[in-house]
């Protein structure tokens, strides 16, 4: 029996304030689920293999800078340390000006 690659659906809220008046919509991607997958690794897979136009932020990748905060299945999480075990829905962090897709302007809190 061949090894089947398990896939998940990643639903991402997309919006660009400079396009279509900033109108938002969700876009779904089918992504292979690897052992040890995190939200950040899933997003990297999407931008490297499926859609280069998707925007997200990451810096330290070890849970220290908090710059990768976003809403994962309705809860605020760090993308770089949050494990993925099934389908996920991603939204930008609320309460901050939206720059694009999952990127918000956190400069006010620095």
Query: Helix or strand or coil: residue 49?
Result: helix
CA distance 39 to 43: 6
Q: Are 89 and 24 in contact (CB under 8 A)?
A: no
**Which has the closest alpha carbon to 82: 100, 97, 102?**
102
> Counting contacts by CB under 6 A, is residue 66 touching ligand FES?
yes
Considering only residues 67 through 86, tell me which ones interact with ligand FES, judged by CB under 6 A.
67-68, 78-80
> Counting contacts by CB under 6 A, is residue 58 touching ligand FES?
yes
- Shortest distance (Å) from residue 67 CB to ligand FES: 5
- Shortest distance (Å) from residue 16 CB to ligand FES: 22
CA distance 101 to 81: 20
6/59 with CB nearer ligand FES:
59
State the residues that interact with ligand FES by CB under 6 A. Answer: 58-61, 63-68, 78-80
């Amino acid at each position: 029996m061949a090894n089947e690659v398990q896939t998940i659906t990643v639903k991402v809220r997309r919006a660009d304030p400079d396009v279509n008046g900033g109108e938002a919509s969700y876009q779904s991607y089918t992504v292979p689920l690897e052992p040890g997958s995190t939200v950040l690794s899933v997003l990297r897979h999407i931008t490297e293999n499926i859609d280069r136009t998707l925007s997200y932020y990451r810096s330290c990748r070890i849970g220290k800078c908090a710059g990768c905060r976003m809403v994962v299945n309705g809860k605020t999480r760090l993308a770089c340390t949050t494990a993925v075990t099934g389908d996920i829905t991603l939204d930008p962090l609320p309460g901050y000006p939206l720059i694009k897709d999952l990127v918000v302007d956190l400069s006010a809190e620095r």
